[in-house]
Structure formats: structure tokens, C-alpha cells
Structure 1
Amino acid sequence: MSAAAGGKPAAVGAVFAWPCRVYWEDTDAGGVVYHARYLHFLERARSEWFRASGIGQQRLREQEGLVFVVHRMELAFNAPARLDDLLSATVAIEDLRSASFSVRQQLLREPEPKALVEAKVRIACLDAQRFRPRPIPNHLLQEIAPA
């Protein structure tokens, strides 16, 4: 699994960006990123966005009895990423509801930000025990709401 390319996450306006690098394990024999690996980059960016917002997912599960899960995802594969590419995975809130929210994500190649992959992801808030929808607590809505 790929790790961040180094440095800290950068928030630019309402868009969060997380750097990542393409490694051998992400690619096929031709050095092109395997399509399912893009999901790893996007997931890590969402996890780091939560963390940068002060939201610890393990703490939420243990102390508040809730988890955030991917409910729906739409992807557009525009161009391939290749071995050793430096990428930036972005997260931006698109829609906020009482028990779910949508984020818009892009995977950009640096230094010329070309959108290789674009995603729209619906995240649902669930009760950690029953895995049934539940409202997002107000204090969390304030943390994830766009500024």
C-alpha cells in the first residue's frame, strides 16, 4: 500500500489535498496503476482529511458509537497514473445532509495538475453496533462543513 509522499496535508480553501506517490505495488507489469488502486489513494485522502479536521475515526467508533462508510461512488478514469508519479488526492465537500455527505475527489498528477481520476463519493453515518443510518452529531457537522 502506498504511503504519503511526505509533508503535511494542505488545505486550500475548501479543498484538502494529500500527496501520494505511485509505487511498484500499485502498478501492473507495464508500470500503469491498476484501476482498483486508485480507490486506495482516494480512501487515504479521505482518512487524512478527517484526521486534519480533528476527527479520529477510531475514537468515533469507540466513544461515540458511529462509523462513516462509503455508500456510493462514481468514478471517471480520465488518464493513467504511472510508476513514480507524484500525485495529489483532493477532497472537497459537495453536499451535507443530516446522516450523510458527498465529497468530490480528484487524483491529480503533479506538478501540472491534470485530473487523472475524478470521483463523487457519498459517505453515510452509521451506528457502529447495528450498521443502521444515524444522524451526524452537530459537533461533527461543524467540523466537516465547508468554511
Structure 2
Amino acid sequence: MKVRVYYEDTDCGGIVYHSKYLNFCERARSEMFFQKGLSPHDENEFFVVRKMDCDFIKSAKFGDVLDINTEVLEIKKASLTIKQTIFRDDEYLFSAIVLLVFLKNQKPSKIPQSCLEIFA
């Protein structure tokens, strides 16, 4: 998924705030669902971030067009681990290993097949 860096994403020097990388990754995960005609959230079923390990390599800047890639590393019964990377052209800027847990009625639950197909 591509995203442009807007002024609201940056500090007064035009450098992207560190927290915005997490927003970009979240947006990319949601977009995976939207592209399949599904919602990433329903009233009683959704994924939550359980753990995240981030590596901030280089800074993105105002006006940059970033490419957010998502790769599945591991799928378990009620969770999955993904790696999300952000590039500016071919320049590697950021990566995150994200553990997502599927909740149903606020409790960890088996990931439905329809969700697994999104990450296939």
C-alpha cells in the first residue's frame, strides 16, 4: 500500500513523527480487509496488537510517498505474527514485527477462515 506523508505527519522540520509509522502500518492492515470487501472490525470480533517490535532505520519526510508491505511470518490458532516494512522507493526506512490476536467477545478466539484468507 502506498501512502503520502502530509504536513500533519511531521514535526516542524518536516520529519515524520515516530508514532506515525505505527499509523501507516495500521492503515495498511485495515486496507487488506477493505480490498476484500470486509471490515477489519466488527462489534464483537477483531484483531488487537499484542506485541510490536519496531526498528526505525531512516526518517521519512514531508511529501514522501511510502510503500508499506506486509508479510505473514506465523499463523497460530488465535494469533498471527506479521512483518511490516516501509520503503521510500528502494530505501528501507522502518520495520515492525507485529503479534496480532483475534478476539471474539473480548476473549482470544480461533481466527475465522475469511480472515486467514486475507493474510494468505
Q: Secondary structure at the match of 1:44?
A: helix
Could you say which structure has the greater relative contact order, defined with CA pairs below 8 angstroms and 6 or more residues apart?
2
Aligned length: 120
Note if contact 2:67-2:86 (Cα within 8 Å) is conserved in structure 1: yes
Q: Secondary structure at the match of 2:83?
A: strand
Q: Secondary structure at the match of 2:68?
A: strand
The letter of the residue matching 1:47 is: S
Matches within 5 A, 1:1-147: 18-58=1-41, 61-62=42-43, 65-110=44-89, 113-127=90-104, 129=105, 131-141=106-116, 143-146=117-120
Q: Residues 17-58 of structure 1, C-alpha deviation per residue, up to 9 Å, x if partnerless?
A: x00011110000110001111111111011111222443224
Note if contact 1:49-1:91 (Cα within 8 Å) is conserved in structure 2: no
Structure 1 unaligned spans of 5+: 1-17
Q: CA RMSD in A?
A: 1.4
Shift in CA distance, 102/89, structure 1 to aligned 2, threshold 3 Å: same
Q: Give the TM-score normalised by structure 1.
A: 0.76
Aligned-pair identity (%): 38
Shift in CA distance, 106/145, structure 1 to aligned 2, threshold 3 Å: closer
* Aligned-pair CA distance for 1:145: 4.8
Which whole-Å CA distance do the structure 2 matches of 1:42 and 1:70 have between them? 11
* Aligned-pair CA distance for 1:114: 1.3
Q: Secondary structure at the match of 2:107?
A: coil
Q: Give the TM-score normalised by structure 2.
A: 0.91
